[in-house]
Amino acid sequence: MKNENTIIPIIGQEPELKAATGKRYVRSLEYEVIANLAMKQFVQEKEINFEGLLSIPLTERIPGLINDYGLKRAHRLIKMVLQEFCYSIPLPKSAKLSDTKIAACACDLILAAYEDQLSLEDLIVFFERAKEGAYGKFKGTLTHFSIMQKLEQYRMERSATYHQLKEEQEAQLKKMNEIPRIGDTKSIGEILQQAEVIPMTQRKSG
C-alpha cells in the first residue's frame, strides 16, 4: 500500500504536512505595465474618466489599430488582455473560458469596439474595474455571455458621458453664434434703414 506521507521526519520533530497549493496566477509584465498606465490615467478614486477615454484619437482606438497593424495582430492583443482577466478571477479552471472560447469572445470584443469606437484602454479599464466587482460578481462560472453583459454596462455609462459632452458642446456653439460679431456683413436694406435721410432742400451745394 502506498504511504501518502513520504516526508522523512527528523528525530525529535514531528513531520509537517502542507496542503498542496494550486498554481499561483502571475500577471505578465507587458500587461501589468499597460494596465497600470491606463488605470493611473483614466481612473481616479474608482471613478472612470470617460471624458479622457473619449478624447483618445480615433486612429489610436481598436478600429484604427486594426487598420494599421491588421486584424490578426489586434485579435491576438485583445485575446491576451482577456486571458489576463480570466486567469485573475478566483474560480476553478473548469469554471472559466477555454482558449477556444477566449478567442471567440475576443472577436465579439472587436465587434463592440467597432460599434462604439472603443480603445484598448477602454477594455483594460473595464476589465480592471470588473475584477473589482464594479459590474457585479461572477457567480460560480465565468462565461462569454456574462463578460459581454458586464461590458454592456460599461458601454452604457460611456455612452451617457458622450451624449452629455455632445450636448454641452452644442450649447456652447449655439451661445457663440448668438453673440454679435464686429464686422458682421449686413444687407443693403439694413444699411439703408439705419442711414440718416437728408431732404434734398437741406442739402448744401459744394
C-beta separation of 16 from 65 below 8 A: no
pLDDT reported for residue 8: 41
For residues 27 and 149, the model is more confident at 149
Q: What is the pLDDT of residues 127-136, one digit of tens each?
A: 999 999 999 9
Q: Considering the entire predicted model, what is its pTM?
A: 0.72
Nearest in space to 105 (alpha carbons), one of 147, 154, 152 = 147
**CA pair distance 53, 102, nearest whole angstrom:** 25
141 touches 95 (CB < 8 A): yes
Q: How wide is the angle at C-alpha 147 spanned by C-alphas 146 and 151, nearest 5°?
A: 115
Where exactly are the structural domains of the chain? 29-172
pLDDT of the residue at 16:
47
Instruction: Give the model's pLDDT for residue 176.
Output: 82
* Average pLDDT over the chain, rounded to an integer: 83
How far, in Å, are 102, 105, 120, 156 from residue 51 at the CA level? 29, 27, 15, 14
Number of other CB atoms surrounding residue 74 within 10 Å: 21
- Asked whether the beta carbons of 110 and 63 are under 8 A apart, the reply is no
- Say whether pLDDT at 108 is over 60: yes
Angle at 110 between CA 31 and CA 121, to 5 degrees: 40
- CA dist 122 and 124 (Å) reads 6
Predicted confidence (pLDDT) at residue 193 exceeds the cutoff of 90: no
33-50 per-position pLDDT tens digit:
999 999 999 999 889 999
Q: Is the pLDDT of residue 177 over 60?
A: yes
pLDDT digits (tens, 9 = 90+) for 67-106: 999 999 999 999 999 999 999 999 999 999 999 999 999 9
